[in-house]
């Protein structure tokens, strides 16, 4: 039986950190036969701690795991905030594989959490530059590589794209903006056979989620992180937080032929956390 993404070429941004959401998406794509590009910043930068960025060595470790699954893999260190580096990322992908079929805009930061009154302009810019400007630049140049044969652009947004959270104005604004970018690009790129959709996970148990657990358990007055997580589980209709595999499965679907008439959507993957 043919695999869902057999011979498709996919870039997943922000995919160089071990046990991160990007790695989960890469492995789900590898299991379905995709050829993959692992890309991340490669080294720490301002407002980005070492543990929050995929290093070049981690990228190679992840690539080795993917090759062990039978996937063909390219690694490219790139700063998605930089126009020239994004162009290089796309060009290297096309030069190596001959085409680009799928882009997953997964790279994001969300650990600048503080009251609005204490938030500095450069902190605001740091989040928007990665989460929204980076998604725009990657989408622009990926779409240029896809427009002759079609493709898929999948934006990893958040439940924060549909509601508000205290002390997270930059992150929330960036994810609302990502859904707006999704809808605008879906309309503009549909004529080229390119679908553009967003996935909106709830709280996913990765590195970023752990930082949010620590912060919000204290902000909301819980005795411990465990108490905070227990309350989160009780409030979710499915009784658990999200897993990287939940988001990855949604990405596989949206990248597949089964989703070729779905575009401009912001798909909740949240266990019913946000319902209408």
Q: Percentage of residues in the chain with pLDDT exceeding 90? A: 72
pLDDT over threshold 80, residue 262: yes
Joined tokens for residue 60? 């190679």
For residue range 115-124, what is the model confidence (pLDDT) as tens digits? 999 999 999 9
**Of the listed ranges 24-33, 104-113, 152-161, 209-218, the one predicted with least confidence:** 209-218
205 or 79: whose pLDDT is higher? Answer: 79
Q: What average pLDDT is seen over the chain? A: 93
- Give helix 21-31 / helix 56-68 axis angle, nearest 10°: 20
Confidence at 7, pLDDT banded by 50, 70, 90 = very high
pLDDT given for residue 228 in this prediction: 76
SS3 at position 275:
coil
pLDDT given for residue 50 in this prediction: 60
pLDDT given for residue 253 in this prediction: 99
pLDDT over threshold 90, residue 232: no
**Overall residue count recorded for the chain in this entry:** 276
For residue range 104-147, what is the model confidence (pLDDT) as tens digits? 999 999 878 999 999 999 999 999 999 999 999 999 999 999 99
Mean pLDDT of 169-174: 96
Active site residues: 171
What global pTM score does this model have?
0.94
pLDDT over threshold 90, residue 31: yes
pLDDT over threshold 90, residue 225: no
- The structural domains of the chain, ordered by start, are 9-204+243-268 (3.40.50.720)
**Which residue in this structure is represented by tokens 């709830």?**
202
Mean pLDDT of 265-273: 93
pLDDT over threshold 90, residue 251: yes
Q: What is the DSSP secondary-structure string of 122-187?
A: HHHHHHHIIIIIHHHHHHHHHHHHHTTT-EEEEEE--GGGTS--TT-HHHHHHHHHHHHHHHHHHH
For residue range 32-73, what is the model confidence (pLDDT) as tens digits? 999 999 999 998 777 676 667 889 999 999 999 999 999 999
pLDDT over threshold 80, residue 271: yes
Query: What is the spatial distance between Cα 196 and Cα 189, in angstroms, rounded to a whole number?
Result: 8
């Amino acid at each position: 039986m043919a695999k869902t993404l057999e011979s498709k070429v996919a870039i997943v941004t922000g995919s160089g950190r071990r046990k991160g959401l990007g790695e989960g998406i890469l492995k789900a794509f590898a299991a379905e036969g995709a050829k993959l590009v692992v890309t991340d910043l490669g080294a720490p930068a301002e407002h980005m701690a070492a543990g929050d960025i995929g290093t070049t060595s981690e990228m190679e470790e992840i690539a080795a795991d993917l090759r062990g699954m039978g996937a063909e893999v390219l690694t490219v260190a790139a700063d998605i905030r930089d126009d020239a580096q994004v162009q290089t990322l796309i060009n290297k992908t096309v030069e190596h594989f001959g085409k680009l079929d799928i882009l997953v805009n997964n790279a994001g930061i969300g650990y600048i959490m503080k009251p609005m009154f204490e938030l500095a302009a450069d902190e605001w810019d740091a989040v928007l530059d990665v989460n929204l400007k980076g998604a725009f630049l990657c989408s622009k140049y990926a779409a240029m590589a896809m427009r002759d044969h079609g493709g898929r652009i999948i934006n990893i947004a958040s439940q924060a794209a549909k509601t508000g959270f205290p002390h997270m104005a930059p992150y929330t604004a960036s994810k609302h903006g990502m859904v707006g970018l999704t809808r605008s690009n879906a309309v503009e790129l549909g004529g080229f056979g390119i679908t553009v959709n967003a996935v909106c996970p709830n709280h996913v148990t990765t590195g970023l989620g752990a930082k949010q657990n620590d912060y919000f358990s204290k902000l909301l007055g819980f005795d411990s992180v465990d108490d905070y997580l227990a309350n989160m589980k009780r409030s979710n209709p499915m009784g658990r937080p999200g897993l990287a595999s939940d988001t990855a499965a949604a990405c596989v679907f949206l990248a597949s032929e089964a989703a070729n008439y779905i575009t401009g959507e912001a798909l909740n993957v949240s266990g019913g956390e946000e319902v209408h």
